[in-house]
Structure 1
Amino acid sequence: MRNLKARRYIYLIVTVIILSFIVFINTIGNILVDIDEVEKSDIIVVLMGSIPDRILEAVDLYKSGYSDNIVIVDEYKSPLIEEKNIDTPVGASINKSIAVEMGVPRENITIIDGNTFSTQDEAVNIRYYLKENKDINSMILVTSKYHSFRAKKIFEKALDSLDRDVKVISRPTKYDEFNHDRWWQNREDIEKVVFEVIKLLNFYFIDQFKL
């Protein structure tokens, strides 16, 4: 009798684990993607990383009249580039070149010298920029789909310390091929979800207290 109860208990635990895993599989992809209704904003912030899908979305938003200004934080440059006098464009410069090629005037694109490593670094540099530009009260945040939920949380937390409310509108690029409904069927999407979940947990337990 005890063995029977033990087996039933084990079966129950296994069933709960399996059902929890199924729920995780079916929901986590959608949780990671945060899409807000876009509206007229003061700036469009393009996060570093994937090229050209993020800047393409920003240009579409610009051409659709949602903002007249695109802002990009410059990314980390290895000291070896300067030591070797290597003249090569990095992410921010490449994105600006793409936007200009597509018809955005150079004067409408701002590159912030941030030398950033992470989304947290970008958020902090944007916060400094907003402290100097007090007329900015809203932004459209452009990034990849799987990165959009965490990115918005990071920016909202970072901007909390400002002397005013700044609205953050999440607009992941439609050019991102990430499939949030069937992410487990593609190896690249699996890697994105796994690493993004780890980074999201790290944000909630550690990084948010540093912003």
Structure 2
Amino acid sequence: MKTFIKILLLFFLIPSALFATMYLSLGFLVSLHSTKPEKADVIVVLGGDNGPRIEKGIKLYKAGYAKNIVLTGIDSRYYSPSRPNWRERRMLEAGVPKKAITVDIWSETSWEEAENTADLMDKKGWNSALVVSDPPHMLRLYKTWKQSFEGSSKRYILVATKPKWWHPLFWWRDPFSKQFVLNEIKKNIYYMLAYY
């Protein structure tokens, strides 16, 4: 009987406990690199959401963290400076001057957002950026922006939104949060193979 219990512990309970611990910690892993904002040259508000990133960018701008904003993830096929998309309109409605907003219509992926922003920062003479996105996006952003800024004096600070659906320990309870985390794990693996 003791042998059976040892085998049960060794081959079932211990691996199950390890798997459960790893699964539950995924929320902490993907959101680990978010930090508090600091003064910077530009606030980069990444595309791909329905408003919290824009609202965070507005708050950072109004709090004086930077005088410039870059909006990414705006499809060039549907964008015209004379007809701003909803993200740019929201910024303008909140009192951000049009001259402070740069719209990136070329980036379609997180990798392109980092690369294109690095190029734009060179052109504008900006050395530091606050990068705004959702908590589960932080691990991939950390690796991507680190790679894009490698070999330069530019620096970036990742600033997460605070969505109601997010909790780093109980991420799996909310369907949207769960899907976001699991997608980020897949995307991190893909980025590791394709870019890093």
2:138 is aligned with what amino acid? S
Amino acid at match of 1:136: W
Specify whether residues 105 and 77 from structure 1 end up closer, same or farther in structure 2 by C-alpha distance, changes over 3 A only.
closer
Mean CA deviation greater in 194-203 or 174-183: 174-183
Query: In the aligned structure 1, how far is the partner of 2:146 from the partner of 2:70?
Result: 17
**Match for 2:91 among 86, 90, 99?**
99
In the other structure, the counterpart of 2:65 is: 66
Structure 2 counterparts to residues 1-211 of structure 1, below 5 A: 8-9=6-7, 11-33=9-31, 34-77=33-76, 93-114=85-106, 116-133=107-124, 135-161=125-151, 164-175=152-163, 177-204=165-192, 206-209=193-196
* TM superposition shift of 1:117: 2.2
Alpha-carbon distance change, 183 to 167 in structure 1, aligned in 2, over 3 angstroms: same
State the alpha-carbon separation in 2 of the partners of residues 200 and 39 from structure 1.
Answer: 26
The alignment partner of 2:72 has SS state of strand
Cα offsets for 1:136-182 (capped at 9, x unmatched): 11110001111122112211111214xx3211111011245322221
Alpha-carbon separation, structure 2, partners of 1:88 and 1:6: 70
* Counterpart residue identity of residue 143, structure 1: S
Report the TM-score when normalising by structure 1: 0.81
Distance 1:10 1:117, change over 3 A: farther
Letter in 1 for 2:117: I
Structure 1 spans left out of the alignment, 5+ residues: 79-85
Question: What is the distance in 2 between the residues matched to 1:87 and 1:129?
Answer: 19
Asked whether the equivalents of residues 71 and 110 of structure 1 are also in contact (C-alpha less than 8 Å), the reply is yes
Rg bigger for which structure? 1
Q: CA RMSD in A?
A: 2.5
Q: State the percentage of identical aligned residues.
A: 23
Q: Which residues of structure 2 form unaligned runs of 5+?
A: none
* 2:73–2:108 contact (8 Å) kept in structure 1: no
Deviation at 1:77, TM superposition (A): 4.8
TM-score (norm 2): 0.87
The alignment of Structure 1 onto Structure 2 pairs a total of residues equal to: 193
122-131 or 36-45: bigger deviation: 122-131
Distance 1:51 1:5, change over 3 A: same
Provide the secondary structure at the position in 2 that maps to 1:152: helix
**1:99 Cα offset (Å):** 0.7
Deviation at 1:7, TM superposition (A): 7.2
